[in-house]
Chains A and B, each alone.
Chain A
Amino acid sequence: MTPQLNAVSSVVLDTLDRFPSRIGRVFIVGDTEIAVFRTSDDEIYAVENLNPHPKGGPLAEAIVSEHYIYDPLYDWKIDLKSGLVQKPDSGQVRTFRVEIADNQVILFTK
């Protein structure tokens, strides 16, 4: 059984070494796709894998620069910390709290 996003408060995604630097990975939690990024300072950020652009699409294949991503389809700049789309575009993507414990990357869904 795959865990449902609303039913659990945290899940283990993978071990830290399985996250390449500045390249996104996709995880499926229940019905939700989550894009997870490892920045060059070895922080892990997780956002919903749903482009805030009205036309939608994924985010995981974005170019990562510090704690920002440039979305792969429309080149919108998005802050991974807040999920906020940077000017002159606007919008917000849902963010998730992530913690690294004992080399395990844990995603909090609530």
Chain B
Amino acid sequence: MTNAKEKLVVIGNGMAGINTLEQILKLTDRFDITVFGSEPHPNYNRIMLSYVLEGSKTIDDIVINDWNWYKENGIALHTGQTVTNIDTDNKTVVTDGGMTASYDKLLIATGSNSLMLPIPGSDREGVVGFRDIADCDQMLEAAKQYKTAAVIGGGLLGLEAAKGLIGLGMDVTVVHLMNDLMERQLDTVASAMLKTELERQGIKFAMGKSTAEMQGDHRVRRLVFTDGEELDAEFVVMAVGIRPNKQIGEVSGIDTNRGILVDDFMRTSAPDVYAVGECAEHRGICYGLVAPLFEQGNILAKQICGVETAGYAGSITSTKLKISGVDVFSAGEFIEGPGHTVIAAKDEWKRTYKKILLDQGKIVGAVLFGDVTESASLQKYVREATEMTDEIYGDLMGTGGHCGGKSKTAAVEKMADDEIVCGCKGVTKKVIVDAINEKGLTTVDEIKACTGATGSCGGCKPVVEQILSFVLGDGFKKTAKAGICACTPLSRQEIVASIKEKGLRTTKEVMHVLEWHNPEGCSKCRPAVNYYLGVIYPGEHKDEKESRFVNERMNANIQKDGTYTVVPRMYGGVTTPEDLKKIADVSVKYNVKAVKVTGGQRLDLIGVQKEDLPKVWEELDMPSGYAYAKSLRTVKTCVGSQYCRFGTQDSMGVGAMLERKFERLDFPAKFKLAVNGCPRNCAESCTKDIGIVGNDGGWEIFVGGNGGIKARLADSLCKVKTDQELTDTVAAVMQYYRETGNYLERTSEWVERIGLEDIYKKTVEDVEYRRTLIDSIEHALTFVEDPWKQVLNDKKLRSELFEAGKPTVIQV
């Protein structure tokens, strides 16, 4: 039977070719598939390279089909093999590595290359394109050694590259031939707004400049422009455009022009040879964006599998710039001509811009800057040349009488089934609708888990939400405010209320009585419920180790290789020579891989083997620093009045006192403090959960600061005069947060959700309530215990958790 399979060969292991294969695999299993790819990687998401450069994603994160995928689908993958010739008569291909393969059907998906301008001197070291992982690696390397960079080309790719290099700490100038950035996607107004925003983010621009020469030694050192001006640059990224990679077609006698010529069914001039993606030229157009590639792949898959399909009629492309903080969108015609009716709104205060072009009353193009919430609807209107109506106008321009967003769901309703919603993963509307209907999904998270949509860049989330609300209708609103995870529709508040009301005692009981979908919960809700129980029943709730994340169960932070880190307490960031000596001795004895001074003023011993953890704790004989826990981490301090000539308060002393008093208590999330001896604020109170700043007459207390994932400056809560008032206020704020915070919600989010006013009322103004809070936390504090000591005193726990068991052979 297997001999009867037709042979399908794919040249090119990129997004276009592999997406087409995925579509084919959904339709049939009748092919024996072989893929040749030049790059040594499995198929990855090229449009997300800018995230890799920016550092927010790794190469692994952007792999779409890992090695396993090829194996599971029985696809023979040959990476590092470039196909050099196609014999279209005998139907065989040859690679540079000497491999040959015969085919019944052949798919060319060789993509495109960076267009490298033949500028004199551009063959010097340090000049690259921005196209693949190898380019990305070169940029990351260059940023380590060199300071100045130039990006030639102010289009989509060039700007993303520039932002990436800025993020890597380079001084970057974008050199652009035209006077407008992204002139192929934006009009002059939006382009100017974009430039201003990017300048704010640190990018410099040399506009209207053409590079005459690249000077230097073995390496490029500077650019010389045609007007004689010069620009220092030790690294140059050429991002002026892409060139379809049509060579294989040319050498094999297949008709080419700018790209490999295809008809509406993606057929080339050679029999049974197809081309798809950026290497193909269809009706005179070579596309360089991702959406057309999915649309072409869809039609091609049907064509190859013999499923009836309408031909490809070309794509209306739309553009989104992937730079954080800069939202730009354009679709269709965006430069107004004499025949156009223009609807435009520019808001210089909010820095937004919206322009819609009509041709004889029909929507034919749009540009958005700053606020792109209407991009999904506009994309659809433009594609379908929808007639402008009062209703649509009201919706798009924000003057509509109804605010239910009815016509937005109407836009979703009219969306074609096979329209791609998630461009990163190639998920169509139909796949999402079917998943909602067949599996009873009610949240975007569930859709992500099931289909992958929104899982990559997240840009399609608004559309997915609209589809969800369209499919569920009224059912959407009820479930939309979502439970704490997919296991329950209940919110934290409802869960906590039920625990108190019904006297529930264990996570198992909570999940059983409150009818969780999964009787034992998941990694999101079990730790949360365990925490809520602990706050409600201090001293009585038996902490469930099995409901704790690894770090809190092991009392150490797990690293990617399975080793752990150990951070002993160093109250207020103050230590002694004796303790330092002990830390050094233990580090040497247990072969610690690195000793790192943490951001919270203490020492982190990195790379301790799991079985050594108890021994390290025992020999350190210091309290756990809780660097792994949702608990009080450190109290950062400055030197303060004990030694500093500016100090007005004893920050070291008070910091150590607060750390001793409140350590070991569970919080919804990690909790950081800082105490400063004067308003110079050397210990950075403004980015701590509670920041304390000393002044001549007392202390000022700040709450809700965060220096992490979403930076937020702390708000001033109140001023106090005495150390006792300070301790009481800190206690009240901590307990109020413990009682009302959602699990994993940092105070920065909590303050915004609950409101500073309410926090002030409960912890400062309302003396009685404040007293209750203080009493509650004092009560809870009587039960805390050092976790390292606990493990050392419990032999069974120690061996079960930390030591590997040694099995015995059965004697037969």
Contacts and interface: CB of A to CB of B under 8 A. Distances in A.
A88 B562 contact: no
A27 B69 contact: no
Interface stretch (B120-128, B448-456, B772-780): B448-456
Contacts of B520: 22, 40, 64-66
A64 B545 CA distance: 11
Nearest to B805: A27
Given A23-B545, A55-B560, A65-B521, A11 B449 contact: no
Given A87-B450, A88-B455, A91-B68, A63 B523 contact: yes
Interface string B549-569: 110011000101110000000
A25 B508 CA distance: 22
Interface in A64-110: 64-66, 70, 72-73, 75, 77, 87-88, 90-91, 106-107
A23 B810 contact: no
B562 A2 contact: no
B350 to A, nearest CB: 36
Contacts of B449: 87-88
Contacts of B119: none
Contacts of B526: 63, 65
A18 B800 contact: yes
A70 B807 contact: no
Contacts of B589: none
B558 A61 contact: yes
B550 A90 contact: no
Contacts of B553: 23, 61
A25 B518 CA distance: 24
B804 interface: yes
Contacts of B807: 3, 11-14, 27, 29, 107
B546 interface: yes
A58 B448 CA distance: 26
A57 B809 contact: no
Contacts of B522: 63, 65, 70, 77
A57 B610 CA distance: 12
A11 B808 CA distance: 6
Nearest to B548: A63
A91 B63 CA distance: 14
A66 B518 contact: yes
Contact of A25 (B450, B546, B561, B800): B800
A22 B449 CA distance: 24
Given A12-B810, A65-B522, A66-B520, A23 B560 contact: no
A29 B804 CA distance: 10
B519 interface: yes
B809 A73 contact: no
B547 interface: yes
A64 B523 CA distance: 8
Contacts of A72: 549-550, 558
Interface residues of B, number: 42
Interface in B786-809: 800-801, 804-809
Nearest to A40: B520
B535 to A, nearest CB: 20
Interface residues of A, number: 44
A68 to B, nearest CB: 8
Contacts of B560: 55-57, 73
Given A65-B518, A88-B449, A91-B68, A28 B806 contact: yes
A71 B382 CA distance: 45
Nearest to B807: A11
Contacts of B805: 13-14, 25-28, 36
A99 to B, nearest CB: 11
Nearest to A59: B562
A57 B800 contact: no
Interface in B456-499: none
Contact of A3 (B549, B800, B809): B809
B89 interface: no
A65 B517 CA distance: 12
Contacts of B66: 54, 90-91
B61 to A, nearest CB: 10
B562 A27 contact: no
B558 A73 contact: yes
B547 A90 contact: no
A22 B553 CA distance: 12
Interface string B507-524: 010000000001111110
Nearest to A4: B809
Most buried by B among A28, A62, A72: A72
Contacts of A22: 520, 546
Most buried by A among B455, B520, B526, B547: B520
A19 B805 CA distance: 11
A72 to B, nearest CB: 4
A26 B804 contact: yes
A63 B560 CA distance: 17
B578 interface: no
Nearest to B59: A54
A11 B521 CA distance: 33
A3 B807 CA distance: 8
B448 A88 contact: yes
Contacts of B801: 23
A2 B550 CA distance: 28
Nearest to A85: B68
A65 to B, nearest CB: 4
Given A12-B808, A61-B553, A63-B546, A70 B448 contact: no
B804 A27 contact: yes
A11 B66 CA distance: 35
Given A12-B809, A20-B545, A40-B520, 8 more contacts: A11-B809, A18-B800, A20-B546, A27-B806, A65-B523, A70-B523, A88-B452, A90-B72
Interface of B: 60, 63, 66, 68-69, 72, 448-452, 455, 508, 518-523, 526-527, 545-547, 549-550, 553-554, 558, 560-562, 610, 800-801, 804-810
30 contacts: A3-B808, A11-B808, A14-B805, A19-B800, A20-B546, A21-B546, A22-B520, A23-B553, A26-B804, A33-B804, A36-B805, A40-B520, A54-B63, A54-B66, A55-B60, A56-B560, A56-B561, A57-B562, A61-B553, A63-B522, A63-B547, A63-B549, A65-B526, A66-B518, A77-B522, A87-B449, A87-B450, A88-B449, A90-B72, A91-B66
8 closest residue pairs by CB, A with B: A70-B523, A22-B546, A72-B550, A61-B550, A11-B807, A65-B520, A58-B562, A27-B805
